[in-house]
A and B are shown apart, each in its own frame.
Chain A
Amino acid sequence: MAKLIEWRANLLQERVSVVKHSTELVRELEKKAITVRQEIVKMTSNANSGHLGGSLSCVDILIALYFHHLKHNPQNPSWSERDRFVLSKGHAAPAFYATLALSGYFPKEELSTIRNINSRLQGHPDNRKTPGVEVSTGSLGQGLSVAVGMALGFRLAGKNNHVYALAGDGELNEGEIWEAAMFANHYKIVNITALVDRNHGQNDGREEDVMSMEPLAAKWTAFGWNVFGIDGHSIKDLLDVLDKSMENRKKPIVIIAETVKGKGISLVEGNDDYHAKCLPKELAAQVVAELEKRKEIL
């Protein structure tokens, strides 16, 4: 945490001024985040596969978006006035599906079918199968380009819809991310917000060991983006920064959300083994029960 604070102090381009959100709202969303984490544990355990660590790390970001910030209508997924969300880190599909189901895009019962044959819930998001998914993703590095294209499309059409893309920090190794970043800057596309799930982990281990991305904020700044840095597990911070980032936009914005891989489950937290691994059934049930208790305390 000391490291995080230091990082925030050194690299923040813009300070998040405090926007008031009621404690009731924050608590309600925190409960939803626990529910999504429970569903992720069940889904990956049921499927006996799936990316547990990187799903758990981005839950709070998804909750802040889908249950407060994003303009969308689960009853009408193709509503023309909706904001767009692209899950560029497609392997966080369990977190995405649980969030969509909880929002009402499809029944929660369907979550248990993830990765099964004939399911609408593929291992990675498939826009032709799953309500609420805008674009198929999974091959890393591609979602930000699509999001930037959407944002440009809205500007061309004279519309105000906003576009969000969530990328992993490991995903930022991909060159296409930076192609998209320079494109957004060149064409002065401001109706886009990129979110980085900065969990410091990737398939082969710690990001710092595999392919270090520091100085990350400076990279985005150099590409012409405004950078916000926050604690990606603080719902309050997330709500604040999402609001704040909408004011006086002159540049595309990236929110670097400092997160922990496997967040919310002590066994998995920060454990590199759980990038693409799940919990055995019995342990999963135990974890789900513990999370339930935590929800009650909130």
Chain B
Amino acid sequence: MSSTQLISTRDAFGEELVDMGKEKENIVVLSADLAKATRTSWFARAFPKRFFNVGIAEQNMMGVAAGLSTIGFIPVVSTVAIFAAGRAYDQVRNTIVHSGFNVKIAATHSGISMGKDGSSHQAIEDMALMRVIPNMTVIVPADAPETKRVLRAAIEYKGPVYIRLGRPEVPVITDEKSPFILGKADILRKGNDLSIIACGIMVPQSLKAADVLASRGIKARVINMHTIKPLDVEVLYNAAKEAGAIVTAEDHSIIGGLGSAVLEAFSCKEARPPVYRIGVRDVFGESGEPDDLMRKYGLSWQDIVKAAEEVLSLKEG
């Protein structure tokens, strides 16, 4: 890894939101009694008149944001992923996205890696829920610098966006200067034996797995699929053509998220590579330290290495 610096994506989000607030006076921020946890309290301190706590009322938060957007404001709503995508699903779907409103939903504490609060607070379905809404954009930044670029791009983009953020501190693996292009995946590591396609917290795990595989003479291409929708199918088709086997890795259910999106992309293709999905295997999580949970539920770099070897045997077989 290029750096051992650890920063959580929610911290980067909170920082960049303040910076963007200075640049754009029409950014307003809403929180559902989780301003500290989502780091929107930093924006609240800097711009108290443009910050609105709605209380523990996520459904109303989505509606109020929708209304504000119609007057020319850019609302950034923030709560934890389970409530943003779950509790307020109908409001996101029917009021915000159906109407085509310019609302940015920053969902923190996503995935099993949110840790000790346990399965009631671990959103392992949110990518699936958001991805199936027509015209929705879904982005999962891999680290802190990318989170800042993603927020910037999301605010520049006109339309609803779901940004999936995490609670734990994660290694910095992208460069401040490298661009973020919505819908265009980044190839972080070259290789033609297989491709590891990952998003979010699983990107650094994938890079670690690629290092281990390299020591065993296997060259893995590592793709940071930060945009889940619209999916970069070109990078997938090239990966299939040039590397021929795929492992997907996400801190989300293996049903409906990145792995499913990748498989869908190949559904009508004649040449279909074997695809092994790393993710939560259709079970609820539990309380625990993020690292322990990721090991127990099969989301560690070791699991990616094992999956890579298995999928390679399928390719060769």
Binding site for B on A (CB under 8 A): 84, 126-128, 134-139, 141-154, 156-157, 159, 163, 175-176, 179-180, 182-183, 186-187
Contacts and interface: CB of A to CB of B under 8 A. Distances in A.
Interface of B: 28, 49-50, 52, 54-55, 57, 59-60, 62-73, 75, 90-91, 94-95, 98-101
A175 B63 CA distance: 13
Contact of A145 (B60, B70, B99): B60
B63 A139 contact: no
Given A136-B98, A156-B73, A183 B57 contact: yes
Contact of B67 (A128, A136, A150, A157): A150
Nearest to B66: A146
For chain A, what secondary structure do more than half of its interface residues adopt (helix, strand, loop), or is it mixed? Answer: helix
B67 A147 contact: yes
A261 B68 CA distance: 33
With most chain A CB atoms within 10 A of its CB, the pick from B49, B52, B67 is: B67
Given A149-B63, A154-B71, A136 B99 contact: yes
Contacts of B91: 142, 145, 176
A134 B52 CA distance: 23
Nearest to A86: B67
B94 A142 contact: yes
Given A142-B95, A153-B70, A182 B63 contact: no
B71 to A, nearest CB: 3
A149 B100 contact: no
A108 B69 CA distance: 31
Contacts of A143: 63
A139 B55 contact: no
Q: Which are the 3 A-B pairs with shortest beta-carbon distances?
A: A149-B67, A145-B63, A153-B71
B59 to A, nearest CB: 4
Contacts of B57: 176, 179, 182-183
B67 A145 contact: yes
Give the one of B52, B70, B72 with max A CB within 10 A. B70
Contacts of B28: 156
Contacts of B95: 135-137, 139, 142, 145-146
